Amino acid sequence: MYKKQVALYFAGFCAYASSSIVFPIITPYAILLGASEGEAGVIAGGFALITSLTMIPLGMLADRFGKFRIIVFGMFFFIITPFFYAMASNFTELLLARFLHGLAMALFVPASNALAIDLSPERRGEALGWIATFTMLGYSAGPFMGGVIASHYGYVPTFYFCSVVALVGSFPLIFLIGIKEAKGSLNFELRLKPEGWGALITPFFATFGSAVVGIFAIPLYLPRFDVNVTVIGTLTTALFLSSAIVRVPAGKLSDSIGRRPVILLGLALEALGVLTFLSTNFAYIALGSVITGVGMGLANPAGFALLSDLLPQRMRGFAMGASSTSLQLGVFAGPAIMGFVAGAYDYYAVFTLTSLITVLAAVGINFLTMDKNFKAN
């Protein structure tokens, strides 16, 4: 069992590292190809749009046809997608490449999260914390590597490096392919109570603010502080690394004291972290990146685990697909909406509005989940 988990976690690390290597360069690369600032925001979060549209059906397919097959198929798309970045010559082609990256994520994420739960069914929050830790460590390592490689070799070699990382991550899965899986049916009835809707929207708002900061504001806003792409990549890494570090403790805490308080604490910290970007002191902004990451790292595992609590085992692929869809919609909506806010107003409006949205989300989720405080059972 331990070897299966390690192989799965390593694949998650490499998949997320592969996708996040482009974070420090994707918006400036889009502008280099002729995109406006608003269009660059759409490009930055564009992969999450196709992910959000396909995660639920692909999660259901993982329930029906086997999680390993879907995971390996996702790794294949992680390997080939960066070549389309390198070949892009305009905004449209780059956006289509981002969509393909989104499909890779949609294939991989619900199946891998559901498999993590299957491997540790009695500790769902902790299991989701572990898989999230390794994936977020990948997200953390990727921007740093991308910033360093891009600063020394340029954009195109950085894209090729993404493929290499994904290829390395796919090898351990060979040892998992032969494992027999219980496969279910695509036929089920879904009725979500208010607490279910609270669980479902949690990942959206937990990633809305962090995506605004991590893949939009840091690459485009921080250059005014006279920092280079390596520093930008390092700061993005700090955000995702802080999120990764708290994932397992967050999962365990939600198993122990309940999902709701962990979710609310995470959203509150994220709102605070985004607000620090209003400062003109770079040190405060760096601290705010870490706080934002911690907030996201607390809220997401608890939200995922809460939806898993509410649905039966045969629907775990769907549950993880639905939660991941919500998350990816946040990743897309944050940069896309705030890109146009930045163009129409300024970045101070971006940070103020993003923080306010996160606070209001916490209030709404508190209202939806106030009757029950779920723990692992």
Q: What is the mean pLDDT of residues 228-242?
A: 85
Q: What is the pLDDT of residue 328?
A: 78
CA distance 170 to 119: 19
Which DSSP state fits 22? T
Query: What CATH number is given for 2-171+191-369 in this structure?
Result: 1.20.1250.20
Q: Provide the mean pLDDT of the chain.
A: 85
**pLDDT for res 126:** 79
Query: What is residue 320's predicted lDDT score, i.e. its pLDDT?
Result: 80
List all residues 6 or more positions away from 90 whose beta carbon is below 8 Å from its beta carbon.
33, 34
**Which phi-psi region, left, alpha or beta, contains residue 228 (left: φ > 0; alpha: ψ -120 to 50)?**
beta
pLDDT at res. 166: 93
Indicate if the alpha-carbon torsion angle 277, 214, 50, 175 is positive or negative.
Answer: negative
Give me the pLDDT at residue 304, please: 87
Q: How large is the average pLDDT for residues 34-50?
A: 81
Q: What is the pLDDT of residue 242?
A: 92
User: What are the extents of the domains in the chain?
Assistant: 2-171+191-369
**For residue 233, pLDDT beyond 90:** no
Contact 75, 177 (CB under 8 A): no
Mutual orientation of helices 316-344 and 37-65 as an angle, nearest 10°? 180
Distance of CA 317 to the CA centre of its chain: 17
Distances (CA, A) of 210 to 60, 151, 159, 316, 348: 28, 24, 23, 26, 16
Tens digit of each residue's pLDDT (9 = 90 or more) over 100-142: 998 999 899 888 888 888 877 667 777 788 888 898 888 888 8
Mean predicted confidence (pLDDT) in 198-212: 92
- In the chain, which residue ranges form alpha helices assigned H by DSSP? 2-20, 23-32, 37-65, 67-87, 91-119, 124-153, 155-170, 194-211, 218-221, 229-257, 259-275, 282-310, 316-344, 347-369
Neighbours of 301 (CB within 10 A): 36
Give DSSP secondary structure letters for 172-199: GGGGTTT-------S-------HHHHHH
